[in-house]
Structure 1
Amino acid sequence: RATCKDWCSALLPVVIPSPWLLLVGKNSDTCNFLSLPTRRSFTYSLLPELRGVQYVGSQAGWLAVFNKNLDVSLINPLTAARICLPSFLTLPNFELVDGSCEIAYAKAGGDKWNLLQTTSTQHRSYEDIMYHNGKFYCITVEAEVFAFDLSGVSPTVTVVAESTSLGLTHFDYHIPCSRVRHIHSKYLACSSTGELFLILRHAVLSYESLGWKAIMVWRYNPQRQPCWEAVKNLGNKSLLIGINNAISISTENFRGARRDCVYFTEAPVRTRVNGRPEIIHSIVVSDVERGKWARARANSQLQPHLLPPIWFTPSML
């Protein structure tokens, strides 16, 4: 199917059980894939273009990477297809205000990166970004959510969720705005039915159990104020959170995944090594209804020399 478009259209579609975890060593000529549905792992020769790069995201079979020269590419590690994007050196000079983190975008056929900002979104500091239904959804450190539409000549923006100036309430537990801003990492995810989720993760998970206060999930509800309502059960869905990508899966026909859970690929965990406290990065899974989290069994595949794992949806196109 990957030979050419004619062969691809002539053959029946091949359903590849996904998602996978991509594990890459810092100085390795190979990469390992771990299939979550089948619980099988296998090794690929690492493409030359993927050696020594920084991984910044994954979507629909493509990896977004940049190298030490700040050259940016989209690469399919299975087919070796590559799309070159403008270099980060084309980013315009700008001044950060109060540690703000700006977002930049490049369009197909363009030769430079452009700052994504409007009058109403200047000097915001963003924590996560997600593409859904033709728009880019971005969440700030204040838990504001903006939807940017880049289909026109100039970007347009819609306010999806306003700042949680008084904090958030997860059932009977209130989180002040200062803790939302400084203590919790924020992620966006969207289900196949279009539901928008906000996930808060305590900055460092502790071996002294934080219970459900460590990882909490909210669902966007525009009919109420505040617009985030606490989620106690995801049903047959689970959320996979990773490096600049989030995946929602149905676990009904997915024997390799646990239902009603949130998986993280890079969570800092405070633990003890040889009797001494230490922080390590781990794959963790949180049971939403039970309010408990634990390190995932996939950690047995991790080695100290590996880069952070990446959720990967295989594609031969």
Structure 2
Amino acid sequence: MAPFGPWADLHTELLCSIADGLSLKHYTSIRGACPAWRSALAPPFPSLLVIADGRRASSLPFLMQGSLHVSTLKKCSFFLGSSNGCFAVASEWLGIFLLNPLTGEEIKLLRMNNCGKVVPKVVFAPNPRPDNYTVVALCDGNKIGYTKTRDMKWFISDIAMNRDQLADLAYDIDGGKVYCLTECGDVHVLHIPHGRRRKPIVEPLLAADRTPGVPFDPALVFTSPYHIASKLTRSKQIFVCNGSLYQVWRNTTGTIGWRLPAGGQFSMSEDEIFVLRYDPGRQPCWDVVQDLGGYSVFIGKNNPAVVRAEGLSWVQANCVYWIDERWRDVPMVFDMVTRTSTPFVLPANNVQAPRCRASCWYFFSDNITSTDRRKHHISGDVAAKTSQI
């Protein structure tokens, strides 16, 4: 401890007492002062972004350790995504911009005048800066918008689909690509341009096996009976875990069922979730898995974050954490073992304001699976405080 001086030996309880109530910016700063302080203070994630009084809000409360102070948000702002500590925000006055809530820095993007009005989700590369950013937007049903530093325009790519619609995007940080998922489970890959190439390339995941102009056939890629379920579950999301690609399907229409060709009945209860893994070495290449190998995934408008549950006191292993957009955006957790979804109850002292709606999960880093788990230990008494901004 000598190189850091006597402050490194500050008693843990006293250090926690001092840190309690600090702004998030100052909290993260003192965690980085020395190894002893970093070990004593829990990292402030994962967290829930919540909005007061509906989706259009002039205030932005958070459920997390400490508080964030953002004075630049205007009334009628919409949150379109979060990734690596930043938010994508849409404003009636500013269009779409990226916001770092720790510093207040904004990256204003060009308005998307030629891709329709509906932009439900935005993903972007880590650590965006005004002089270095990459942004991808899901827009208008079957279009992908892409822009990069100094492009001075949005590149709009139409994805040819036979009465299908895009449902989700996921930015693969390690692979340098964006996976685009449709409502029927078809996957397209947007390859991020490098070098002098500015325009992105979008192609089907199984481009070599696809005949141009032939509609997507779920029976060719999903094992039975999930090729039928792919058409009946419109809530779908995609994520990457340890180099493998996964889909999350959720039934939002009440209990559904159908007879199997070989006999018997297959059914899905409301809010039941299936997780499918992509295996290019088999045919069909997508099949349901029963667990995530001890990991859990947080999905929603945020770029999906995969967490190793071991050592985290309030994160269950092999679970899907999601937000129920039908009932005041309640945070939920689906246990892959019990096959049930239940409301996600935050730890003691973490109270969500009754008028607040969860918008998305907030993480300081999306690349959680490859980091040292000891740095992400969250004790049970960490206080996640709701603060008005």
Q: TM-score range by the shorter chain?
A: 0.7 to 0.9
Match among 46, 64, 77 for residue 53 of structure 1: 77
Match among 228, 234, 245 for residue 292 of structure 2: 234
Q: Which amino acid aligns with 2:225?
A: H
Match among 143, 148, 160 for residue 190 of structure 2: 148
State the distance in 2 between where 1:23 and 1:93 align.
27
- Contact 1:167–1:180 (CA<8 Å) still a contact in 2? no
Match among 155, 158, 161 for residue 117 of structure 1: 158
- Greater strand content: 1
Match among 272, 276, 295 for residue 343 of structure 2: 295
Match among 286, 304, 309 for residue 359 of structure 2: 309
Larger Rg: 2
CA distances 1:58-85 after superposition (whole Å, capped 9, x unpaired): 0001100110135111001122121111
5+ long unaligned stretches in structure 2? 1-24, 118-139, 211-215, 256-266, 366-389
Q: Does 1:200 align with 2:249?
A: yes
State the distance in 2 between where 1:183 and 1:122 align.
17
Secondary structure of the residue that 1:112 maps to in structure 2? coil
State the distance in 1 between where 2:34 and 2:244 align.
31
5+ long unaligned stretches in structure 1? 35-40, 269-278
Q: TM-score, normalised by structure 1?
A: 0.76
Secondary structure of the residue that 1:72 maps to in structure 2? strand
Distance 1:176 1:93, change over 3 A: closer
Distance 1:248 1:75, change over 3 A: same
State the distance in 1 between where 2:70 and 2:289 align.
40
Secondary structure of the residue that 1:127 maps to in structure 2? strand
Q: Which amino acid aligns with 1:32?
A: F
Give the number of aligned pairs. Answer: 283
State the distance in 1 between where 2:270 and 2:289 align.
11
The aligned residue for residue 283 of structure 2 is 225
CA distances 1:45-69 after superposition (whole Å, capped 9, x unpaired): 4433265310000000110011013
Match among 205, 215, 219 for residue 166 of structure 1: 219
Distance 1:205 1:84, change over 3 A: farther
Q: Which amino acid aligns with 1:33?
A: L
User: RMSD between aligned alpha carbons?
Assistant: 3.6
State the distance in 1 between where 2:226 and 2:220 align.
5
CA distances 1:133-190 after superposition (whole Å, capped 9, x unpaired): 21011011221111111313332234225744338867xx72454x523433110011
The aligned residue for residue 68 of structure 2 is 44
State the distance in 2 between where 1:111 and 1:248 align.
33
Identical positions, percent: 24
